[in-house]
Chains A and B, each alone.
Chain A
Amino acid sequence: MQTSSQPIERMIVRRPRIRWGHLATIVGFLLPGALIYIGLVLLPVAQAVYYSFFRWNGLGPLTNFTGLANYTRALSDRVFLLSLGHNLQLIVLSLAIQIPLALGLALLIRGLTRGRAIFRTIFFMPFVLSEIVTGVIWSFIYRPDGGLVETLFSSIAPGFAKTALLADPKTVLYALFVVITWKFFGYHMILYIAGLQNIPTEVEEAAQIDGCSRLQALRYITIPLLSSTIRLTIYLSVLGSLQFFDLIWIMTTGGPVNASDTMATYLYKFGFQRFQLGYGSAIAVIMFLICFGFSIAYQTFAMRRDFE
């Protein structure tokens, strides 16, 4: 067998088709995956849509058709709207703080002459820890008696009032956001590092020789060249914030008094704790529509250039 060293232009050059006999291979290779994927991903999603038109506790037959009642109920429910608001708040915080932080650190690492690998390894570490481990660690950090935050602040500023950051409706979402940032900034940073590696250093060097300051080179060369990565991280960050569940469920279960509920924790409470499966399904469908709508709009308007 020989490998070719000629340039590959398979997209352009149409080569004669070699028929290898194949229906059996295609079907045989796709079928196992297709079955499990249809059965456990697509079918449940379709069922969720169906159930959302019923009032149902998940046990008896589906008889109580209620049309769009579950949807109108959700959209007029204060707690659901509050939860949605928290998702939106998390989006804003992520875009305003987490993404710039990740970008800044990626640039910082790139600028280092030594120790890049060590910094990258450390910064990315929280991402691989499980949500439950992260959640319990930070519950400890935030605990009002002898927690790390409390100890640190009262040693810097004596007389620092003890606050249970996770138990106060005013602070809980911000406290959770700190944990979210701690855990996820490394992921965005890794994407930026990969994006930066695709930018030839010559471009920036040429700009600096032409008299650009480092800041100008960053502003007018590096950031624009990185824009497809930036758009991607924004996309992932928004979708992630819309679907947030594990960490919040572990640390606060949406409390105190719904102050940290998100759409997903709300769904869990109604679907699995109160067994209102029809209503829970409607919430799932609304969540999906929001994600889907965002996805389509964003890909059409912001990311179109990246696919071409």
Chain B
Amino acid sequence: MSTQTIRTSTNFKGVIGLLQYLVGAFVALVVLIPILATILNGFKTNADLLVNPFSLPETWQWGNYIGVLQSASFWRQLLNSTIVMVATATGVVVLSSMAAFVFARMEFRGRELLFNFFTLGLLFPLAVAILPLYISLRQANLIDSLWGVILPQVAFGLPGNILILRGFFGSIPRELDEAASIDGCTPVGFFVRVLLPLMRPALAAVVVLTMVASWNSFFLPLLVLNSEQLYTLPLGIQQFQGQFGTDWAKILAFISLALMPTIIFYLLAERQIVAGLTAGAVKG
């Protein structure tokens, strides 16, 4: 009797386990099919694509991909996106780690007030500030320049990242500051030689998250960048789609090449991305 119940309960567990894998596999397919279909369909002719979007290409058309890879504009957009991304991430990590250091490790009157002042920015999405921001950028001659994208991205990246880094910076023991100061270390020396090296994982999380956000950013570049020479990849995609309209095979090839760097980056930096997002959310 008792062995029987145990057996049925293990069977039951087995069924549940199998079911979990089936549901998981189903969701995985729903996530992956759009991405895989995009990459595969880039290898088709439009006629082939129209008849059967799910199957492998009848004949593999490398032309769509080669066409994109040979176009100067694709590479220029890739370069522009990279410049904006690197500059934004550098600006954000340098400025927010400096501010976070002050808020986490130094004591002075009005510190919390000042900190709240900095994190107030979390309440303002870009959409609220975008109209006057646009006018300010125009007055500062930053419209149609990559700086016009970089500087606002840094500014809007500061509040959240100061918050995240303050949490991390605060988590190491106070005794470290004291030991450093007894050894004759100045606050700046402590920041550069002790804190930053210790906090490399946290800084990596901030850098990686900022890179992803900058790489994907669309709204701001859409407004700021007018000349094609300066287009970042998202604008290039939009333009390409407008230009080739219904030539889906070409568009999908372009999209595939544009998403490749993101996916590769994601697979390499998944841990940092997740760490940054969860730290930000839990502390926010």
- B27-A20 in contact (CB<8A): no
- A1-B281 in contact (CB<8A): no
- B129-A45 in contact (CB<8A): yes
- B219-A147 in contact (CB<8A): no
Complex: how many Å from CA A264 to CA B125? 11
B56 at the interface (CB under 8 A from A): no
Contact of A292 among B123, B191, B258, B273 (CB under 8 A): B123
- A277-B135 in contact (CB<8A): yes
Residues in B whose Cβ lies below 8 Å from that of A30: 98-99, 102, 114
- With A1-B180, A271-B130, A271-B131 as contacts: A10 and B173 at CB distance below 8 Å: yes
Task: Give, as a whole number of angstroms, the nearest-CB distance from A158 to chain B.
Answer: 16
B38 at the interface (CB under 8 A from A): yes
Interface size on A, residues (CB 8 A): 91
Task: Give, as a whole number of angstroms, the nearest-CB distance from B83 to chain A.
Answer: 17
Task: Give, as a whole number of angstroms, the nearest-CB distance from B49 to chain A.
Answer: 6
Complex: how many Å from CA A196 to CA B179? 37
A105 at the interface (CB under 8 A from B): yes
- A194-B278 in contact (CB<8A): yes
Complex: how many Å from CA A40 to CA B121? 10
**CB neighbors of B among A277-296 (8 A):** 277, 280-281, 284-285, 287-288, 291-292, 295
Task: Give, as a whole number of angstroms, the nearest-CB distance from A77 to chain B.
Answer: 18
Residues in A whose Cβ lies below 8 Å from that of B162: 33
A123 at the interface (CB under 8 A from B): yes
Interface size on B, residues (CB 8 A): 102
Q: Mark contacts of B21-51 with chain A using CB atoms, 8 A cut-off: 1 yes-contact digit, 0 otherwise.
A: 1011001101111110110010000000111
Q: Mark contacts of A120-137 with chain B using CB atoms, 8 A cut-off: 1 yes-contact digit, 0 otherwise.
A: 011111101111110011
Q: Mark contacts of A131-166 with chain B using CB atoms, 8 A cut-off: 1 yes-contact digit, 0 otherwise.
A: 111001110110101111001100000000000000
- A112-B50 in contact (CB<8A): no
Known pairs A22-B108, A284-B130; list 18 more (Cβ under 8 Å). A25-B187, A26-B106, A29-B98, A32-B95, A33-B98, A34-B99, A40-B129, A42-B121, A48-B128, A121-B267, A128-B216, A130-B258, A148-B53, A151-B53, A246-B219, A272-B131, A277-B131, A287-B128
